[in-house]
């Protein structure tokens, strides 16, 4: 965080001769920017540089903001309200930079922002565009089977119901550090094979879904003390791998993929199947694809975006 790096022994910036060729990604809200550029002439190799502002904490406010050599400039004053530009003392770093050098075209593509497009997937579009594309670009889910068979990650299991039809394994998502409860992120992977996504669910899966909901909530309450009133419980559509799994995240955590264009609460899915067993074979599902996704390419080839 904002702690002073003592002893402070920074050197003149490694970026002094860096020239920006192109912005790859810019995020005002999260205060980060990714650029590609060069340190020398045109013949020089590319460098990808990600610069991100450092987060603020209590130490920063108490030490950096109140330091003898901190400076401020009032930019607005209206009654009890005022705004100030803050010049933090040099002893405190204000950004973190990550550099990939030399960077190949592949690195540049990886760190570039990919344009997003919304697909409204009718059942017909699922059959004619999505399914053929997913069939061709199938990724192996062997790693999921390894988890279910306890060949890997067995020590990470938080809870298991071994029933082959309604059971599941609950374990921490890679994005969770397993200590900060406010950013709790667990995933329930069902034992049943062959259910590729939410699109394939029918009323026959209700015992499975209700079991995941109830036992998942109970296990998290028991092991982490977090009640269900703090849990966002949902599927992704499209999912990132084609073996049915459910996300459990803390409501305080602004989890990636919890947007209404990707997340569908498990309670909604159960409700909808209770109402109509064929709900998801009739439903139009709305989601985002990105320029580098195979699904984007498939929809583009089907002239879907030509409106």
**269: CB partners within 8 A, 6+ apart:** 198, 201, 209, 235, 280
**In sequence order, what are the residues at sequence separation of 6 or more whose Cβ sits closer than 8 angstroms to the Cβ of residue 209?**
201, 266, 269, 270, 273
Catalytic residue among 191, 236, 243, 245: 245
Which of 110, 172, 203, 265 binds a copy of itself (CB under 8 A)? It is: 265
Question: Smallest distance from the beta carbon of 161 to a copy of itself, in angstroms?
Answer: 20
Nearer to a copy of itself, 60 or 168 (CB): 60
Q: Is 119 in the site for a copy of itself (CB under 8 A)?
A: yes
Comparing CA positions, the residue from 267, 280, 298, 255 lying closest to residue 123 is: 280
The one segment of 50-58, 131-139, 157-165, 167-175 that binds a copy of itself by CB under 8 A:
50-58
Among 125, 231, 269, 295, binds a copy of itself (CB under 8 A): 231
Phi and psi, residue 74, nearest 5°: -70, 130
Measured from the CB atom, is 155 or 307 closer to a copy of itself? 307
Residue of the chain from 112, 228, 277, 281 that contacts a copy of itself (CB under 8 A): 228
Question: How far is Cα 35 from Cα 56, in angstroms, rounded to an integer?
Answer: 24
Q: Which stretch binds a copy of itself (CB under 8 A): 81-89, 130-138, 142-150, 159-167?
A: 81-89
| 25 part of the interface to a copy of itself, by CB under 8 A | no
Cβ 91 to a copy of itself, closest distance in Å? 8
Active site residue 245: yes
Q: Omega of the bond prior to 127 within 30 degrees of 0, cis? A: no
Distance from C-alpha of 96 to C-alpha of 113, rounded to nearest angstrom:
20
């Amino acid at each position: 965080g904002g702690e002073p790096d003592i002893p402070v022994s920074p050197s003149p910036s490694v970026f002094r001769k860096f020239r920006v060729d192109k912005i790859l990604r810019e995020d005002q809200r999260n205060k980060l920017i990714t650029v590609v550029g060069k340190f020398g002439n045109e013949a020089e190799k590319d460098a990808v540089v990600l610069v991100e502002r450092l987060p603020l904490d209590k130490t920063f406010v108490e030490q950096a903001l109140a330091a003898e050599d901190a400076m401020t400039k009032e930019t607005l004053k209206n009654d009890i309200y005022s705004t100030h530009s803050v010049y933090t003392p040099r002893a405190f770093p204000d950004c973190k930079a990550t550099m990939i050098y030399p960077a190949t075209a592949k690195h540049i593509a990886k760190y570039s922002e990919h344009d997003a497009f919304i697909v409204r997937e009718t059942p017909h579009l699922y059959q004619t565009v999505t399914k053929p594309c997913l069939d061709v670009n199938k990724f192996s889910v062997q790693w999921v089977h390894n988890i279910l068979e306890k060949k890997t990650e067995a020590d990470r299991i938080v809870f298991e119901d071994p029933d082959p039809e309604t059971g599941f394994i609950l374990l921490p998502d890679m994005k969770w550090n397993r200590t900060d409860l406010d950013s709790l992120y667990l995933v329930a992977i069902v034992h049943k094979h062959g259910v590729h996504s939410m699109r394939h669910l029918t009323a026959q899966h209700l015992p499975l879904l209700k079991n995941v909901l109830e036992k998942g909530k109970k296990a998290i309450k028991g092991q982490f003390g977090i009640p269900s009133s703090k849990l966002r419980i949902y599927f992704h559509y499209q999912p990132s791998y084609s073996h049915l799994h459910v996300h459990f995240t803390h409501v305080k955590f602004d989890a990636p993929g919890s947007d209404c264009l990707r997340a569908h609460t498990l309670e909604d899915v159960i409700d909808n199947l209770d109402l109509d067993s064929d709900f998801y074979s009739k439903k139009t599902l709305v989601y985002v694809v990105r320029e580098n996704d195979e699904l984007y390419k498939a929809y583009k080839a089907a002239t879907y975006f030509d409106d």
